[in-house]
Structures are given as structure tokens and as C-alpha cells.
Amino acid sequence: MRPPLNADADADAGDAVDARADLIALCERGLEWHPDWPKSRADVAVLRPAAVLVLFGVLDAVPAGTGGAVPRDLDVLLLRRAATLSSHAGQIAFPGGRLEASDAGPVAAAIREAREETGVDAAGIEPLGMLPPMPVPVSKHLVTPVPAWWSKPSEVAAVDHDESVEVFRVPVAEMLEPANRANTQHTFGDRGYRSPAFTVGGRLVWGFTALVLSRMFDELGWAERWNPERIVELDDL
């Protein structure tokens, strides 16, 4: 883990640049999502290609300063999916969706979906690369996360309430606080397993979104020690 960053104004500007550089470097070297999962867990040949936008930016409303490994004004854009959807209903997610024939690839698809779901101005988004696709057997998708930098933030809101009901920005430093981290317990086929979760702002981030963020934070060197024995029961929410 990196040492705490300086908190003066010049350092804060540098912190944001460092976070962006860290994300670019991560895209370049890649990672393995589930090193402990059997390779046969998902037959990727039958999964439909999809992409999500993992959009990081700087919150103007949050005082500059450091939150451990990251500046306190660093944030990530998330949304809550509509409760009526057939898969991942009501879950907090990244903007994104299935690739269409007109998309040039995962980056174009992720930005298009983000624009359609949140109204974000695509001109202010700087794609930083792509991470390896992750199989999501429960919804039969092979999802490519597209980390990006919000170089010129714009107004966002839930555009189509059949798809999403709220859009919000979450400070990364709050997600990294040990008190806001936990695991959820699931059963997949005949096997039970634990999966990362974040409890921030009265919301629970779990499932695919938490898996991606948790793995990224670990690989980026941003994560702090937290108690993996803290379990959040989904039925209690």
C-alpha cells in the first residue's frame, strides 16, 4: 500500500493525476478476476458480450484532502437498476449493457450505454483502456469493464426509469474505509462462496459491481485492511 498523500492544494491536483495514471497502468498490465475459480465455471462461448463504464472523476462538493491511499474527492459513478428488470434487479451497478451491432467495440458500447442511462456528456469522458472480460453466468453475459476518467463532469440523472431509478457519485475513499467493507454469502450451483460488498451512504454495493471494484482496488494498491468475516445478509436489506 502506498504511503498517505500530501494534503496541500498542489498535491491534491497531483493526486487526481496519480489516480488516473494508476488506472491507465492497471489497464495496460491487466488482472485476473477470479484466481480461485475453476476455469470451467462458465462456458464463455455461450455468453453474450457486454461492457460497463467504470467512470472515475473528481467531486467538486467534497473538500480536497487525502483519504488514505486516494484523495477524498476521487469518486466513481454508479446507478441503481430498476426493480422490474429480469436480472440484477434493484442492484447498484455501473452504467453499461450489451454490445450492439453498431458498436465499434466494448469502449464504444460502454460510453453509449452510459449516455443512454445517465445522460452523461460523452465528450467529457476519457477512456483509459479495458480490463479483461468477466463471465457473469447468472445473466449469461461476458462483461468487459472500461475504466475511464471524467475529464469534464456533466449533469447526470436516471434517464429511462425502466432501466435505472437513480444515478449517483460515490467517493472512493468512503468505499475503502474498513468499516464500509463486508462480504455477502451466495450459492452458485452446488457451491457456496463469499463475495465482496461495500456499505456506503445507506446503500449496499454487491455482486458484479463490488467484485470489479474490490479486485481493482486490490490491484491498484488502494485497498486498506478490512474484516472479511463481516457478513451482510441480503435478506436483511
Q: For 116-174, how does the pLDDT look when each residue is reduced to its tens digit (9 = 90+)? A: 999 999 999 999 999 999 998 878 899 999 999 999 999 999 998 777 889 999 999 99
CA-based max dimension of the chain: 53
Counting residues of the chain whose pLDDT is more than 90, the rounded percentage is 63
160-165-168-170 Cα dihedral, nearest 10 degrees: -130
Overall average pLDDT of the 14-18 stretch? 62
Give yes or no for a contact between 93 and 110, defined as CB atoms under 8 angstroms apart: no
The whole-model pTM stands at 0.87
Reported residue count of the chain is 237
- Helices (DSSP H) in 91-191: which residue ranges? 106-118, 172-176
Q: How many other CB atoms are there within 10 angstroms of residue 164's CB atom?
A: 22
What pLDDT was estimated at residue 67?
Answer: 57
How many Å apart are CA 61 and CA 231, to the nearest integer? 32
Structural domains of the chain in order of their starting residue, each with its CATH number: 9-175 (3.90.79.10)
Phi, psi of 108 (to 5 degrees): -65, -40
Q: Grid coordinates standing for 85?
A: 428488470
